[in-house]
Amino acid sequence: MVIAQEVNKMKKYPISIPVNSYEGKDQKKRVKNLAKISLANEIADYLNKVMEKETQNTVSLTYLEIAKHINSNSNSVKEILFEYNGGSTGITITKA
Give per-residue pLDDT as tens, 11-36: 888 999 999 999 999 999 999 999 99
Angstrom distance (rounded) from CA 89 to CA 52? 23
Evaluate if residue 38 carries a pLDDT over 80. Answer: yes
Per-residue pLDDT of 43-87, as tens digits, reads: 999 999 999 999 999 999 999 999 999 999 999 999 999 988 888
Tell me, yes or no, if the pTM score tops 0.75. yes
Q: How many CB atoms lie within 10 A of CB 73?
A: 13
Angstrom distance (rounded) from CA 20 to CA 79? 13
- Whole-Å CA distances, 85 to 8, 23, 27, 29, 53: 10, 24, 29, 24, 23
Angstrom distance (rounded) from CA 82 to CA 96? 21
